[in-house]
C-alpha cells in the first residue's frame, strides 16, 4: 500500500524563542510526530564533552555524530548551558550536519507511530531539511526576553548562572548560528514570522494555529 504523503510543519528560530514549546503543542494539536532537531546537535556536543574532548575538534565531533543513537539521548545532560554551547560549535561543521540530515528527513517523510505528519523544530528546517514543508514558521523574540526565559529554565534545573551571562551567551550563539556558512539560521523566503516577545504561550499557539490552518487548507 502506498503511504499518503506526510504533512510537514517546520518551526525555526533562535535560542529560547519559544519554538520548542510551540512545536510540541502543535504536534499534539495536529496529532503529528515531533522532532526537536536541536537535541541532536546538543547530544553530539554533549558526547564530545563527556568523552573529555573539545567540541571544536572536527574529527571528534564527526565521530560523535556518526555514533549518535537517538534512542539513547540523555535528556537532562543535553539541556545544560555547556551542551548548548557545544551544540552550536559542532552544528557549524558541514560534515556533522550531513551526518544527521538523513535521519531528520526520514523522520519528516516517514513519521514514527504511523502519524500523518511531523513537526520539526530547529534552525534550518524550512530552508534545508524540509524545504517542501506545508507550513513554515520562524519564531523570534528579543534577545532580552529570550535570555529571561532561558534563565528561568536553567534556574529551575538548579543552575546559578546570572541573566546577564545568559544574554551574552544568547547573543554569541545567535551570531554563530546566523553567520556560519553551513545552513545558517535564517527565515525561509516562504516562512511566516512570529514574534513572541509580547505573547503568552497560549497566544503564540493561537497565532501559529491560525497561520498553519490557512497554509494547510
Q: Which residues make up the interface to ligand CDP (CB under 6 A)?
A: 15-16, 37-38, 41-42, 84, 87-88, 91, 122-124, 173, 177
In whole angstroms, the minimum distance from the beta carbon of 88 to ligand CDP comes to 3
Closest to ligand CDP by CB, 98 or 210? 98
CA distance 120 to 104: 8
Q: Quote the least distance from Cβ 68 to ligand CDP, whole Å.
A: 13
We find the least distance from the C-beta atom of residue 95 to ligand CDP, in angstroms, to be 13
Q: Three cell numbers at 179? A: 553567520
Q: How far is the CB of 214 from ligand CDP (least distance, A)?
A: 25
User: For residue 174, how many other CB atoms are within 10 A of its CB?
Assistant: 17
Identity of the residue, 31 or 168, whose beta carbon is nearer to ligand CDP in the bound complex: 168
Give the residue with the Cβ less far from ligand CDP, 15 or 26. Answer: 15
Find where cell 558526547 sits: 47
Rounded CA-CA distance 13/123 in Å is: 6
Based on its alpha-carbon atoms, the radius of gyration of the chain, rounded to whole angstroms, reads 17
Q: Are 117 and 9 in contact (CB under 8 A)?
A: yes
Q: By C-beta, is 124 or 140 nearer to ligand CDP?
A: 124
At closest approach, how far in Å is the CB of 37 from ligand CDP?
Answer: 4
CB 190 within 8 A of CB 136: yes
- Please say which residue, 47 or 124, places its beta carbon nearer to ligand CDP: 124
Q: Contact 121/178 with Cβ under 8 angstroms?
A: no
CB of 173 to ligand CDP, least distance (A): 5
- Of 122 and 143, the one with the shorter C-beta distance to ligand CDP is 122
Q: Are 128 and 183 in contact (CB under 8 A)?
A: yes
Tell me the C-alpha to C-alpha distance, in Å, between residue 178 and each of 29, 83, 150: 30, 19, 19
Amino acid at each position: 500500500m502506498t503511504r499518503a504523503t506526510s504533512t510537514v510543519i517546520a518551526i525555526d528560530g533562535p535560542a529560547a524563542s519559544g519554538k520548542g514549546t510551540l512545536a510540541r503543542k502543535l504536534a499534539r494539536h495536529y496529532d503529528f510526530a515531533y522532532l526537536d532537531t536541536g537535541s541532536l546537535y546538543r547530544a553530539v556536543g554533549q558526547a564530545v564533552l563527556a568523552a573529555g574532548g573539545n567540541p571544536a575538534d572536527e574529527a571528534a565531533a564527526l565521530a560523535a555524530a556518526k555514533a549518535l543513537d537517538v534512542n539513547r539521548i540523555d535528556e537532562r545532560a543535553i539541556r545544560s548551558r555547556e551542551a548548548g554551547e557545544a551544540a552550536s560549535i559542532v552544528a557549524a561543521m558541514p560534515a556533522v550536519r550531513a551526518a544527521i540530515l538523513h535521519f531528520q528527513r526520514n523522520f519528516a517523510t516517514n513519521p514514527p507511530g504511523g502519524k500523518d505528519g511531523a513537526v520539526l523544530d530547529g534552525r534550518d528546517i524550512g530552508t534545508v531539511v524540509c524545504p517542501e514543508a506545508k507550513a513554515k514558521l520562524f519564531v523570534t523574540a528579543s534577545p532580552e526576553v529570550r535570555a529571561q526565559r532561558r534563565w528561568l529554565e536553567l534556574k529551575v534545573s538548579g543552575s546559578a548562572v546570572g541573566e546577564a551571562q545568559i544574554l551574552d551567551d544568547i547573543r554569541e550563539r545567535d551570531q554563530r548560528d546566523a553567520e556560519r556558512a553551513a545552513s545558517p539560521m535564517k527565515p525561509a523566503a516562504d516562512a511566516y514570522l512570529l514574534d513572541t516577545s509580547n505573547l503568552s504561550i497560549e497566544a503564540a499557539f493561537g497565532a501559529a494555529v491560525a497561520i498553519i490552518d490557512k497554509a494547510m487548507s
